[in-house]
Structure 1
Amino acid sequence: MTTFNKTGSRAIPSLQATVEEYIEPQTGARHIHLASDSGEMVFLVAFPTVPDVSDGRAHILEHLALCGSQRYPVRDPFFAMMRRSTATFMNAFTYADRTVYPFASTDKTDFLNLLDVYLDATFFPNLDYLNFLQEGWRHELKDGKLTYQGVVFNEMKGAFNDPIRALYSGVESTLLQGTTYEVESGGDPLVIPELTHAMLKEFHASHYHPSQAVFMTAGDISAAEVQEQIAKRVLSKLTGTASRMLPELAEGWTAPKVNEVRIPSQKAKADEYGLQLTWLMGESADMEAYYNAYLLSAGLLGDSSSPLMKAMESAGYGRPSRLNGHDNSPRQLIFHIGMEGLTEPQIEKARVRLWAALEKAAVDGVPIEALQAALRDIRYTQRDTASGRMPNALSRLLHALPVAMRDGSVFDSLDSDADLAKLEIAIQDPDYFKGLVRFLLESPTRLTTSVVPDAEYFTARDAVEEAQLAARTAALSDSERARIEADTAALDKHQKLPSNSEVLPRIRPDELSPQVRASLPLPPHQENGMAKILPFTIASNGLSYVRVAYDVSGFDAADWPWLHLYSDLASELGVGDMDYEDADAWRQRMAPSFNIGVDASQQPDGALRLELWFGASGLREEHAGIAELISRTLAETRFDEHERMAFLIDSDVQDRLNGLAQSGNRYAMLSAAAPLSQLRRFEDMTGGTASLPFEGQILKQSKTPEGIAAIAAKLSELHRRITAITPTVLSAGAGDDGKELGGLLVLPASEPVARAVAPAQTEVPLESAALHAVSQINHCVAAWRAPMLHEEGAAALAVAGELMTNQLLHTALREKGGAYGGSAGYTGSAGTFVMSSYRDPRLAETYADFNMAIDQMLETEFSQEELEEAILGVIKGMDKPNAPYDQVLHAWSLHQRGVDDTVRQRFRTDALNCTLENIRAVVRQWLKNGKPSRAAFAGNLTQDLSGLKGVDLLELANAA
């Protein structure tokens, strides 16, 4: 019997759902339910977490809550349930002012199982001291000296690699001084060791209570069914009410302020300074304030013709900051305008330029078409069903959550129609937008930040950490030393305990369908002389999609990085008689979504298939605009705007070089796998370590008139060669919309050509490399050649990867080693098997654990339950649902890879019937007897590199 009272309901046709709001009167707990016929059911519970120190208590509590609870006293129930359920999504997030625990599942029994576990984990966690040492931080003694260890401690060392994170924190701590946003919610590794276990338990007691909780659900399950379980498991045990915690509001200023923020840099070059202007605006739960901030972003920064974007891109120096635009994550809206890539003398010059552009925009305004396109984009987003990394319904709930937690209208946050109707009328008056700009000019709560690159950023932090440890080591008493040694021994014993997961509910493989879910069939294609058109009929929720794809498999390997450069630049150049500014505004008017990309797939024989595509989508009533956008881009893209191209190349390459440490995991992954797989080799040459010399070369070449002219000529010729190929058009929408949209395209003349085959590669990738950029963490990777999906042993290797991750690497790399993540996995599309660690404090020890894991796979007698959990992990990866248009792209991808439902069914059957004997056989054949290809990202080169050769990533790019 539920005690929740329904306080409101609203049908939202654009979501094909009804929003229901409930409150439990005895505690004040809130429940928001998005009722729909979706078979993917979603749940989350969120708590306001408003720390006033940077010791990471909210973040560490998030980790610890999932380490065992009253009803489920299991060492790691979160990771255990990941392998015991068919969940399509499981995670937990710590934001600056809230902590959220979401999951999703397509199976109702599984959903209710997970609901039970999540409720107990969040409201009744054990918060065990040893788990605090493992997940948060701890001292360890090595050679008589103290060191730090801990999952969150090392995770945050990796997070601090991001220069934009450092800039954002520096701005927010000043602009929102005196609030929870002033501190580092994830935890500053220099402050984390100040947190005690007792402080953490007190934080849970004060924040995790039904009076503070917001529950949210979505899908084809009744609100009452969820509420009954909440009442039974939580409300029957926790009573009482309290005022809901809200983040503090920052005080307004009487005059603008200035500050300086130092950000991590590899070399602190002269042109790595920046400027940021930031304003504090209204409350983010106020929909009018939110949409006004959105309009400011769209009108001032939306495209290259927008006043502020034009001022930045045409300055002749610097580039737009990646922080620009409105930010609704804090309780109060923030608006950013800034530039990066400046020299120190250019900071003031940039400030004057931006201010002048603002003043001009306050007088001239912006074209109403730009604002109308921005409102159209909101309607498009409202109807979009794409899932991305998480279920679409969960994305919507997470968007509405802060509004609900800040006492705003959750109905208005999910249903934009009424607000958009008001704005459509408001923007008819040019003074409306001008008034928004005048607010920025007149507001005293404005912060001007000078951004300073700091090559000693991590060196200084290391020095502080070392000084802390040295002081604590010197002051260490015998009793404290004994306690640390006892804690280390107790934790080691704790980590060796069996997981005791039998108390947790689970789904067994024999409960799953033995039949593979059939992929979407390709429709009969239509030839119109210009293209082969495949029109799909999908439940598109009023949106239409088109993709024009060119088979460029026959292009030489030397063209691959050029294809990547082409896909980056072509969507930002002029078209026909429009220069790049006019073309950018035109693209924005024509359709809300337009992209150019290159997809690679590996054939069953190992050959590479490459496809360069132009894709667009929009509301179904925008077919003419979508077709014009694609057609004119293909026929009339200009490559004569050399200054524009040089600016785009400089911006893209500099952003990439500034993010070397952030992308270290990707570089290591691709470098390790590139020698083993055509697919990974292509990815390495276009976005991995092997692409850095090209990036450096193209940057240098773009600096001279002759060089940029040669680049333009190469891209123009590439465009001619691409559009001379007869393309395949994927068009999709409701009813006959896909057919209609495909028929509106007017494509360049082309001639049918025989199917091209990618040339053999002769370049030798980097081998056994320790890829270096300055950082405080490592990423370790070892890769082996493996069978393709259709080959014998594929399914057994996939199960082996799950088993190795669950039973061996998770404990060795994360629990004991302190890495944020550690896993093994088989990829049938690339024909590789990979072991990896993420944000890892170790390197040589991790490679030793990789080797040990192979031997343990051959020697350990895993239980039937452990085997079944691994099988379940493989099968649920095949069963994850896709949004309608994602199904189209998935079907086309399978076709390109030569994978039909017969191959997929054989793989599924083999996985469901997999035995330990099968696993040992493939581990011995492919891993034990195979030769690994290793590559690591190494934060420093003074550590034991396990035989890897140091390669400086920045020098690799600059050596071109």
Structure 2
Amino acid sequence: MRLEELATYEIIEKRRIEDLNSDSYILRHRKTGARVTLLSNDDNNKVFTIGFRTPPKNSTGVAHIIEHTVLCGSREFPVKDPFVELVKGSLNTFLNAMTFPDKTVYPIASCNDADFQNLMHVYLDAVFYPNIYKTDKIFKQEGWHYEMEDKDSDLTINGVVYNEMKGAFSSADDVLSREIQNSLYPDITYGIESGGDPDVIPELTYEEYLDFHRKYYHPSNSYIYLYGDMDMAEKLDYIDKNYLSNFDYLKVDSEIQRQQAFDAPREIHKPYSILEGDSMEQNTYLSYNFSVGSTLDRKLYVAFDILDYALCSAPGAPIKKALIDKGIGQDVYSEYDNGLQQPVFSIIAKNADAAQKDEFVNTIREVLEQQVRDGIDKKSLLAGLNFDEFKYREADFGRFPKGLLYGLQVFDSWLYDDNSPWINVEANDTFAQLKEDAKGRYFEELIQKYLLDNTHRTVLLLEPVQGLTEKKDEELRAKLEAYKASLSADDIDKIVRETKELKEYQEQPDDPEDLRKIPLLKLEDLKKEADKFVYELKEYQGVKILHHDVFTNEIDYISFVFDLKNIDAKYLPYVSVLKKVLGMLDTDKHTYGDLYNEINIYTGGISGAISTYTNSDDVTQFETAFEISVKVLHSNLDKAFELVQEIITSTRFDDTKRLKEIFGEQYARLQSDLASAGHQTAALRAMSYISPAAYVSDCVSGIGYFRNLEQLIRDINTEEGAKQIVDTLGKLSRAIFRADNLLVDITGTDKEYQGIPENSKKFADSLYTDTIDMGRLEIHTSKKNEAFKTAGQVQYVCRAGNFASKGLRYNGALRVLKVMMGYDYLWKNIRVIGGAYGCMSSYAKNGDSAFVTYRDPNLKNSIDVFEKAADYLRNFDDDDRTILQYIIGAISDLDTPKTPSGKGAYGLTAYLCNARMENIQRNRDELLGTTKETIRSLADYVDAFMQDECLCVIGTNDKIDEAKDLFDNVEQLVNR
């Protein structure tokens, strides 16, 4: 069947989009008016998305709660959590749902045809026929509910979205982004918290929640997107016959209103919480924010991203430099959000003082006026354009399918104009036009119109308040106590009864017949062979070159890998500093600003990393490497080598003023990142107590690095300390960047390999040769169970250890265990019953293992759940179908499609880990052969790593104080 033969759809437009190598279609479902777009091409990583315009009227989080709850059972799939059942047993390459300020989308992706059809079926049934109307327990579990174990218990509030948003409201950066949007659009949906304000979420009633679904989750308000290699007509016919045709047209008022422009700029002050004793100085966020046109202006959509780069984002950009030079903020950056109908451009100074507000604004305006008067640096514009165009053409989004990212970008215009889905993904002509415009005054005119003359702007100050979280928690406790006191005995009994009923509902197993309704692949559908790594070790005049023969479309992916074996462990924090300052300081040839532009004009970016690689033959041994990676069009290969050589051999480390700026910026970013990604921070820290490899990682990127950075910031403010830092960075460079430490890694075909040997030899000859003794890398760990307090409202709890040290060999079935823990035992006890937003586990080949929670209202309760995990496994008695689900889920995680650069990285890891295909295949066979007995045997692995009793928690004052006996050390995460 051809699309033209589908009588149930009207084809609005059909044309070829060469930019995306796709045939595109815009269609309309005749009966319901459902909007449909298609991108048909040869990409086997297929994508389906159904979305709805969902503008909220208040901050109860109703759109967000709906997003969670429609995936908790439906007409054809009446189990309590089909989403989890799918994750367990699907080969998906993406499976999730997202709530935005004006829309909710449900995307799925898979390379397997049958799996793709199954996922699409379950998601369509979920959004149109959810079980939310059959029981309010789904709403209570995922949204919010009052909770009391018995009549003498304290009255509390729990719920997954409620706790998720308490975590989101704990991050100052998240609060800032939300308040910026609210400040510019106070009268429309963008002035409302679509995710839900924890103070307001409990105002949402069950009926209001159902009414929201009735109104917006209708085909007439839907947007359906299909991408990839499939029979599009077959898919659309299925969607019509099974879902859309069951509905009549409904006029849905979901249009996203525009905010009327302000007559005059506005100033707004908002608070955020810091701990008692934290400094009030240099702890304010200053932001200058502008409403910028329309996301339907395809040229402006890209142009402001280029302005963002040229004005502020790039190191040495004029606004960033002017503010830093005046000491306004430790971290100055800009953000451009074009995912709204009315995009937002913001300039932000983090870790500033409120008293600097006027100077902050005046400085920005002075710089903007100067840019308009004298003209923007053409090289900066060209660098920004080339960098964005490189990313667009490369279309490498890591583990995320490119069809998924295209789909989300399609919504940036389609949501506001039914006939304009492609304007922001079809961008080659836009880049060509902007390159011509950059020769004139187009970008200067944008500054004048949207930044200098625009009255629709705000100055927002996010100001610290000591103990605000504790104060709000106390107010909530008092409010709940007063509410409980006002309740009758019958009312209290009802809450106690409903708490018990909800837990019984959560713990009650699904009907096996209902579980079997969830579509499931067969074991024979799974690929038996492990992905082969591709590399060939070559040598050219003494230089080792690792070549990965992979098609890259004329892009060279190059890594310069330097062994760190000759660096004493005490220098690891300095090694991390070195990674961060290279490319951000002047060299003998360029200022750091010019250097950054050169990089982005000629390459797709240069980045650094410090990585550890465990030896497959002896997991107690590992290599640590300093890696500098560059991606470049083959035509610019020589320039890429020259730039990397310049950075590592001629950087000027003696600019202590610039070093202070970089340290301050790093400190400000880590201050936020360590807390907002608390699960990763806690897991790395807990494992560092006993794992040398984790210790290295903590020293270069975790709490260990953060503590050393605090000391470096103090040291660089003294003459002696500054001299030591400069000298150490110089010595480290000469000790690391040597030919005898070097491996050149290249991903590309033989065509991209041309020129690599000669350039590699020339590069190696330029490296340091003088004798530098920096010791040897020897790691000595020590266990120190810790708790780190933040001003947040949730916990991140980790128990870690190592099973290999107890004589256990890595087994491929541990990947199955990861799926089981994350979507069965931990999911049920930590998320469903405990109310945490997330939970996970990990089991590395070197034995390092961990249980972790994310945005968790609990602490001790979660540890209790961890402690009982081994018993759960020993008593495991699920059927073969359930085990098959876990196997499929594990294979899905293992077989995530690799981009060309990802294939190269896989080969590099295999080489540095001394991996052999027979061992990788054995692990895969163990995974595929997992049985009930295998799972029970994995209890020994859990017991083994739990014996180490490594505990790290990042969380609130109250919860940590209640559990202080568990810790050897308790301190604030940020010492200010």
TM class by shorter chain equals: over 0.9
* 1:448 equivalent in structure 2: 459
* 1:564 equivalent in structure 2: 576
CA contact (8 A) 1:91 1:102 kept: yes
Looking at structure 2, the residues matched to 895 and 402 of structure 1 have their Cα atoms a distance apart, in angstroms, of 42
* Selected match of 1:539 from 551, 555, 575: 551
Aligned pairs (5 A) from 1:72-471: 72-127=77-132, 128-142=135-149, 143-242=152-251, 245-266=254-275, 267-322=278-333, 324-407=334-417, 409-430=420-441, 432-471=443-482
CA separation of 1:635 and 1:366: change in aligned 2, threshold 3 A: same
* 1:44 equivalent in structure 2: 49
Q: State the shift of 1:431 in Å.
A: 5.6
1:904-934 deviation line (CA, Å, top 9, x unaligned): 1001111222222233233135516843322
1:115-159 deviation line (CA, Å, top 9, x unaligned): 100000011111131111111100012534310011111111111
* Selected match of 1:57 from 55, 62, 69: 62
* 2:565 is equivalent to residue 553 of structure 1: yes
CA separation of 1:65 and 1:147: change in aligned 2, threshold 3 A: same
1:664-701 deviation line (CA, Å, top 9, x unaligned): 22221112212342221211222223333312211111
Letter in 2 for 1:728: L
* 2:743 equivalent in structure 1: 728
For structure 1, the 5+ residue unaligned runs are none
* 1:761 equivalent in structure 2: 779
Looking at structure 2, the residues matched to 409 and 204 of structure 1 have their Cα atoms a distance apart, in angstroms, of 26
1:739-796 deviation line (CA, Å, top 9, x unaligned): 335644542246799xx997432242423x2222222111111123124999745223
1:624-675 deviation line (CA, Å, top 9, x unaligned): 4323222222322221211101111122113323554323222211122123
Looking at structure 2, the residues matched to 952 and 295 of structure 1 have their Cα atoms a distance apart, in angstroms, of 45
Give 3-state SS (helix, strand or coil) of 2:354's partner.
Answer: coil
* Selected match of 1:523 from 506, 523, 536: 536
Letter in 2 for 1:705: E
Looking at structure 1, the residues matched to 848 and 885 of structure 2 have their Cα atoms a distance apart, in angstroms, of 22
More displaced stretch, 694-703 vs 871-880: 871-880
CA separation of 1:919 and 1:788: change in aligned 2, threshold 3 A: farther
CA contact (8 A) 1:403 1:410 kept: yes
* 1:803 equivalent in structure 2: 820
TM-score in terms of structure 1 length:
0.95
* 1:475 equivalent in structure 2: 486
Q: State the shift of 1:438 in Å.
A: 4.8
CA separation of 1:291 and 1:658: change in aligned 2, threshold 3 A: closer
Looking at structure 1, the residues matched to 810 and 666 of structure 2 have their Cα atoms a distance apart, in angstroms, of 42
CA contact (8 A) 1:81 1:504 kept: yes
* 2:701 equivalent in structure 1: 687
* Selected match of 1:22 from 16, 24, 27: 27
Looking at structure 1, the residues matched to 111 and 958 of structure 2 have their Cα atoms a distance apart, in angstroms, of 47
Q: State the shift of 1:201 in Å.
A: 0.8
Looking at structure 1, the residues matched to 865 and 900 of structure 2 have their Cα atoms a distance apart, in angstroms, of 42
More displaced stretch, 877-886 vs 18-27: 18-27
Looking at structure 1, the residues matched to 500 and 870 of structure 2 have their Cα atoms a distance apart, in angstroms, of 26
1:149-197 deviation line (CA, Å, top 9, x unaligned): 1111111111112112212222222210111111111111110000111
* Selected match of 1:890 from 898, 906, 911: 906
Looking at structure 2, the residues matched to 824 and 749 of structure 1 have their Cα atoms a distance apart, in angstroms, of 42
Letter in 2 for 1:398: L
Structure 1 runs of 4+ aligned residues shifted over 6 Å read: 788-791
CA separation of 1:654 and 1:293: change in aligned 2, threshold 3 A: closer
CA separation of 1:734 and 1:782: change in aligned 2, threshold 3 A: same
Looking at structure 2, the residues matched to 646 and 236 of structure 1 have their Cα atoms a distance apart, in angstroms, of 64
Looking at structure 1, the residues matched to 964 and 880 of structure 2 have their Cα atoms a distance apart, in angstroms, of 35
Q: State the shift of 1:734 in Å.
A: 5.0
1:866-911 deviation line (CA, Å, top 9, x unaligned): 2222222222222111011110011111221222211110011112
1:832-878 deviation line (CA, Å, top 9, x unaligned): 23222211111111111112222121123222222222222222222
Looking at structure 1, the residues matched to 26 and 770 of structure 2 have their Cα atoms a distance apart, in angstroms, of 58
Q: State the shift of 1:512 in Å.
A: 1.2
* 1:641 equivalent in structure 2: 655
* 1:711 equivalent in structure 2: 725
Letter in 1 for 2:890: V
Looking at structure 2, the residues matched to 882 and 542 of structure 1 have their Cα atoms a distance apart, in angstroms, of 17
1:590-634 deviation line (CA, Å, top 9, x unaligned): 323111111112223221211111111133433343232222223
* Selected match of 1:823 from 821, 833, 840: 840
Letter in 1 for 2:493: A
Give 3-state SS (helix, strand or coil) of 1:700's partner.
Answer: helix
* 2:926 is equivalent to residue 906 of structure 1: no
1:60-92 deviation line (CA, Å, top 9, x unaligned): 000000000111111100001111211121111
Letter in 1 for 2:734: R
Looking at structure 2, the residues matched to 371 and 738 of structure 1 have their Cα atoms a distance apart, in angstroms, of 31
Looking at structure 1, the residues matched to 139 and 328 of structure 2 have their Cα atoms a distance apart, in angstroms, of 49
Looking at structure 1, the residues matched to 416 and 599 of structure 2 have their Cα atoms a distance apart, in angstroms, of 36
* 2:659 is equivalent to residue 650 of structure 1: no
* 1:949 equivalent in structure 2: 967
Looking at structure 1, the residues matched to 389 and 652 of structure 2 have their Cα atoms a distance apart, in angstroms, of 31
1:264-308 deviation line (CA, Å, top 9, x unaligned): 334243111232111112111221231332232122124234321
Looking at structure 1, the residues matched to 674 and 547 of structure 2 have their Cα atoms a distance apart, in angstroms, of 41
Q: State the shift of 1:536 in Å.
A: 3.6
Looking at structure 2, the residues matched to 774 and 432 of structure 1 have their Cα atoms a distance apart, in angstroms, of 42
CA separation of 1:950 and 1:483: change in aligned 2, threshold 3 A: farther
CA contact (8 A) 2:315 2:593 kept: yes
CA contact (8 A) 1:772 1:950 kept: no
Q: State the shift of 1:944 in Å.
A: 3.3
CA contact (8 A) 2:788 2:972 kept: no
* 1:853 equivalent in structure 2: 869
CA separation of 1:57 and 1:643: change in aligned 2, threshold 3 A: same
Letter in 1 for 2:653: F
CA separation of 1:148 and 1:156: change in aligned 2, threshold 3 A: same
* 2:829 equivalent in structure 1: 812
* 1:7 equivalent in structure 2: 12
Aligned pairs (5 A) from 1:566-605: 566-604=578-616, 605=618
Letter in 1 for 2:897: P
CA separation of 1:671 and 1:536: change in aligned 2, threshold 3 A: closer
TM-score in terms of structure 2 length:
0.93
Give 3-state SS (helix, strand or coil) of 1:413's partner.
Answer: coil
Q: State the shift of 1:243 in Å.
A: 5.3
Looking at structure 2, the residues matched to 106 and 378 of structure 1 have their Cα atoms a distance apart, in angstroms, of 28
Letter in 2 for 1:552: L
Letter in 2 for 1:816: I
CA contact (8 A) 2:690 2:781 kept: no
Give 3-state SS (helix, strand or coil) of 1:42's partner.
Answer: strand
1:691-734 deviation line (CA, Å, top 9, x unaligned): 33312211111222332222111111111111124311122335
More displaced stretch, 730-739 vs 665-674: 730-739
CA separation of 1:752 and 1:498: change in aligned 2, threshold 3 A: farther
* 2:958 is equivalent to residue 936 of structure 1: no
RMSD (Å), alpha carbons: 2.5
CA separation of 1:950 and 1:228: change in aligned 2, threshold 3 A: farther
CA contact (8 A) 2:874 2:936 kept: yes
